Amino acid sequence: MRIRRPLLDLRLYASRTFTAASVTLFSLGAAMFGGMILMPLYFQIVRGQDVIVTGLLLIPSGLGALISNRLAAPMTDRAMVIRGLGIGLCLVPAMTAAYRALPPGKIADATPQLNVLQRVGAAIGTAVFTVVLERQLHHSATPSSQASAFGTAFTWVLAVTALATAPTLFPFRAERRAAAQPYPPSLNEEGTSPMPLTDTEMTYLASQRLGRLATVDARGAPQNNPVSFRYNPELGTIDIGGRAMGASRKFRNLAANPNVAFVVDDIVSFQPWKVRCVEIRGHAEALTSQSPPMPGFSSEIIRIHPTRVLSFGLEDDTP
C-alpha cells in the first residue's frame, strides 16, 4: 500500500464498482477461454471432425463477435454466432464500468491490472474445465457417453458464466445512482477548470497555508482532514500534498468517489466579527509520480478541479 506504483494496486478495490467489474472480467475470462478449449475437442472427439473442418466450424464464433451471422445457417453455426455476440456484449460493458468508476489518473494503473485478471481467470478456467472433461471421459467409450462427458464440462462453463452475472448488479446500481445526480462539468482540452477563481480568491488562497478537505469513501462515509495546499495557476486547480499521501484514506477515497469539497477560512477580527472563507466544490484526481509540492512530501498529490466556488469576506468593504 505504500509503494509508489505497485504492480497490483489494491487501492483501486476501494471502489465496489471496480471490484464487481473485476470479478466479472475474471469469471468471463474463465468461461470464455475455457469454452474455447472445449469446443474444438468436442468437434474432434464426439463428431470425429479433422483439424481443418474443426477450424472452419469455429469461424462463426468470430463472426458473431463482429455482429455478422449471414453465414450461420446450420444450428451449430448459429449457436457459435450467438456465443460470439455474447462475448462482445459482456466484456465491453464490464470494462466500461470498471473505467468509469475510477478517476482519470488511475486509468493507466487499472488497464494492465484488468488484463492480468482476465488472463489469470482464463488460465484457471481452462485448467479446471479440462480436468473436469478428462475425468468424465476416462470411462466413456461410446459417442453418447462422450457427448454426456462434454455436457458435464459445459455445465461447469455455464455455472461460471452465471457466477459472473451476480457482480454486474453493483455496476448497474452505481450507474443508476450516477444518472440520478448532476454530473460535474468536464475539463476542456487544456485541462483547465470550468470555473476559474477570481483574482481576489487566488490572492486570499496564496496567503493561507492550511485548508480542510472533505471526501467520501465507497460506503458513503464522509471524512474531513486538514491539508496543506497550493493553487496551480497553470491548470486552475488546487493541488494538495502531504507525507505518505498515497497511503492516506482520503487518497484512497477518490477511487470510489471523486467528488470533494475544500474549504479555506480564517478569522480576521473578533470585534467586529469578521470571517473570510473560500469554499471549492469539484472533482479530484489521485495522482502519483508527481513533483512534491513541498520538501519532505511524497510524490502523490490530490488535484481538485473546481466546478463551483463560493467565497465571502474577502473584499475590504465586506461587512
**Whole-number average pLDDT of the chain:** 78
**pLDDT for residue 175:** 53
Cell 448497474 belongs to residue: 172
35, 128, 161 from 133: Cα distances, Å: 11, 9, 17
Per the CB < 8 A criterion, the answer to whether 160 and 27 are in contact is yes
Domain boundaries, the chain: 10-179, 199-312
Q: How confident is the model at residue 243 (pLDDT cuts 50, 70, 90)?
A: confident
Q: Give the mean pLDDT of 238-253.
A: 90
pLDDT surpassing 90 at residue 226: yes
Which helix (H) or strand (E) segment holds residue 227: the answer is strand 222-232
Q: pLDDT grade, residue 163 (50/70/90)?
A: confident
Residue 181 has pLDDT above 50, yes or no: no
How many C-beta neighbours within 10 Å does residue 147 have?
14
Q: Which of 63-67, 160-164, 250-254, 294-298 has the highest mean pLDDT?
A: 250-254
Of residues 264 and 65, more confidence is placed in 264
Give the CA count within 13 Å in the CB-facing half-sphere of 112. Answer: 7
**Domain 199-312 class, CATH top level:** mainly beta
- How confident is the model over 56-113, as pLDDT tens digits? 877 766 655 554 444 434 444 455 555 555 666 667 677 777 777 676 667 777 888 8
Mean pLDDT is highest, among 31-45, 158-172, 201-215, for 201-215
Query: Which one, of 227, 228, 242, 236, lies nearest residue 201 by Cα?
Result: 236
| pLDDT surpasses 90 at 260 | yes
Q: 189 pLDDT band (50/70/90 cuts)?
A: very low
Rounded to an integer, the average pLDDT of 27-32 is 83
Which residues, at least 6 apart from 318, have a Cβ–Cβ distance to it below 8 Å? 274, 312
Average confidence (pLDDT) over 303-313: 91
Around Cβ 117, how many Cβ atoms within 10 Å? 20
Find residue 162's DSSP bridge partners: none
Instruction: Decide if pLDDT at 211 tops 70.
Output: yes
- Section 106-123 average pLDDT: 84
pTM, 2 dp: 0.47
Quick: pLDDT tens for 3-26. Answer: 556 667 777 777 777 888 888 888
CA distances from 294 to 105, 231, 245, 260, 284 (A): 21, 13, 12, 22, 20
Of 69, 5, 79, 70, give the one whose Cα is nearest residue 35.
Answer: 79
pLDDT-wise least confident of 185-199, 231-245, 249-263: 185-199
Q: What is the pLDDT of residues 281-291, one digit of tens each?
A: 999 999 988 88
- Of residues 131 and 13, more confidently modeled: 131
